[in-house]
Chains A and B, each alone.
Chain A
């Protein structure tokens, strides 16, 4: 999603959010990520004026007053956390672990192939299709990508071929390098 993203060229505008819209986003986030409930006041303080950065290719990013990039989405899809945010609260997404050999591919933006999730060294936690997940890696402690399952984890194990998780955002992509939006 952000492989070719460039903050200079890809941003089309910044919108101030109405408080009603802001409330809606908050509710949706807690609904999607119940573990965030106790932390949402820190992430999206009620008094903070949130803004949405509109980008090309139907991408939207939520930023707070300080300009930190918090969540992003594609078209009207589910809000996904940026890696920088997830590293601060590394527990609210289901996590899938790829084996060591897959790391460099994930870091170059490739989608996560089923065998990278089923081989020794990999580990899945059961989730349905279309779930937002954090990609972890064998022997590493921190998430290296945020993705969306294209198959249920049961099917990933069964089919064991092709793409299992779509790589939406990874370390070193355009979103990772995007500066705070002032």
Chain B
């Protein structure tokens, strides 16, 4: 395919859209761009495990070509540094606590779910359905469930999200509001 053909606008004959493009599980970019990622080695590890056929192609492409590219690079100003994605630091942990609501009732506060990349709105909805009560996202990484369901959460959370082991759930006990 010539360059001009590649840049030609319009759908290609015999191709059904939408296309589905494989993205790298490490850097999230299309695989052909992995080589520009600062943690290219991790990309390769991911490819080897998940897309072995792509990994073979990448290995072949690795030889040669880099010297020429290095020369081109030096002619340009600036650093051209690609940022790696922000790593969520801090331990992954979910905290649950009970807080009073009015004289007799309590609410349950859950924090830390987003450290597991869980969509908080979806989680709040799930708790509401599961416990048949009100449940809403109340902060950056906080869900409040109307009702005292703290003890149940130690079973419900690992059941719903297997990546959260019961040991990763911290019981903060009763909190004052």
Residues of A within 8 A of B (CB): 8, 35, 38-39, 42, 87-97, 99-105, 107-108, 110, 123, 125, 136, 140-142, 144, 171-172, 176-177, 179, 182
Complex contacts, B19 vs chain A, CB 8 Å: 87-90
Q: Are B82 and A104 in contact (CB under 8 A)?
A: yes
Q: Are B29 and A172 in contact (CB under 8 A)?
A: yes
Docked CA distance A123–B79 (Å): 24
In terms of DSSP, what is the predominant structure of the interface of chain B? loop
Give which listed residue, A125, A144, A171, contacts B7 with CB less than 8 A: A125
Complex contacts, A171 vs chain B, CB 8 Å: 28-30, 33
Complex contacts, B6 vs chain A, CB 8 Å: 95, 97, 136, 141
Give which listed residue, A88, A101, A182, contacts B18 with CB less than 8 A: A88
Give which listed residue, B18, B33, B79, contacts A42 with CB less than 8 A: B18
Contact (A177, B85) CB under 8 Å given A101-B72, A172-B29 = yes
Residues of B within 8 A of A (CB): 3-4, 6-12, 17-21, 27-30, 32-33, 36, 69, 72-73, 75-76, 78-83, 85, 119, 121-122, 140
Q: Give 13 A-B contacts (CB < 8 Å), ordered by A residue.
A: A42-B17, A88-B21, A89-B19, A91-B9, A91-B10, A92-B9, A93-B9, A97-B6, A107-B82, A110-B80, A125-B7, A172-B29, A177-B28
Docked CA distance A107–B76 (Å): 15
In the assembled complex, the CB of B51 is this many whole angstroms from the nearest CB of chain A, namely 15
Docked CA distance A21–B109 (Å): 39
Complex contacts, A142 vs chain B, CB 8 Å: 21, 30, 32-33
Q: Are B18 and A108 in contact (CB under 8 A)?
A: no
